[in-house]
Amino acid sequence: MIQPVTDARSNKNDQIKHVVEVLGRSKDRLKVFKAIYQGKKAVKSVSEIATKTKLDKIRVLQEGGKLRGNGIVHAEKVGKETGYRKDVFYSTNRARILQLVGNPEKLKKLPTKTNPKTSGGATVVLRGIDRKPKTKELHIDDIDSFKAVKKLRAQEKWKAPLSESKFKHGVQRILGEKGKFTDWGGEKGDLLSSRLRYRGKRITTAFAFKGPATRGVLTPRKMGKNGDQVQRLFETAANFFILQYWDAIGERVREQVEGWATLTSLRLQKQILFCLIDGVDTARLVRAYDRCFS
């Protein structure tokens, strides 16, 4: 069963400890967190947060960026400015988080995967656990399964994009993936395969495809109805995550992908790979494997 990144059933205390440690490093960051998570409003603009915290907008953006980078809030547009959306898990556990921020001794006693407690109160220390995230961005040329693209130079994006379904089936043919993947509203990614090869080895890979219905530079607002398509992609049980689009991929989407890769690496304690395939590289892939897409 696929579990979400902030899975209260498997690593609730680890997630709580993570946000407490992030908030404890800055008083301004804690103010921004409180302002975002106070009240019933799901999304608050930088202006609203600045008014509430009495911080200037630049400072709010700096600390909001830290919260977003650690997966604690989700950034999106509110009118013409940046806004921050609550994460459901952290919203539910807000009171406990704030309690632990103000009580370091109690935080030390919190049982986690890296610092579990026995029933007798003794602490079991797990050695060899690396708390630093291990992520790596790959490019389409690095992937063995797509090696034919190396023969083609980057030229221009594809003028007549294929439908999302046709493109997905083309990728399946390249990989030799025979499984059926039917689109539905609650899906995590568009394709999950264990047949992709990288450095001579198979690696479980989750794909998210953005079809031709989406136009212009890809931004978070275009990433699903709730802007959470990147999050849902990284909730898939995979080690390699690929986002494909027929045009340019915006900086904010790249930041989301990098942020979720970091959080997933910390959660799973292993290296997470990711790749962004924009319109130019998509065109190279289609040209290199035209028979698979015909």
CATH topology of domain 8-108: Arc Repressor Mutant, subunit A (1.10.10)
Residues 182-230: tens digit of each pLDDT: 443 444 558 999 999 999 999 999 999 998 788 889 998 888 877 888 9
* Rounded-to-integer distance, Cα 108 and Cα 98, Å: 15
- Sequence ranges of the domains in the chain: 8-108, 135-293
Q: What's residue 241's pLDDT?
A: 97
Q: Is the pTM of this model over 0.85?
A: no
Q: What average pLDDT does the structure give for the chain?
A: 83
Residue pair 43/76 in contact by the 8 Å Cβ criterion? yes
Specify the length of the chain in residues. Answer: 294
On the question of pLDDT at 116 being above 80, the answer is: no
> Is a pLDDT exceeding 80 seen at residue 154?
no
Give the gyration radius of the chain's Cα atoms.
21
Q: Where are the alpha helices (DSSP H) in the chain?
A: 8-23, 27-37, 46-53, 57-69, 88-92, 94-101, 104-108, 164-175, 229-234, 251-268, 279-288, 290-293
Percent of the chain scored above 70 by pLDDT?
Answer: 84
Distance CA 49, CA 37 (A): 10
Task: Answer yes or no: is pLDDT of 110 > 80.
Answer: no
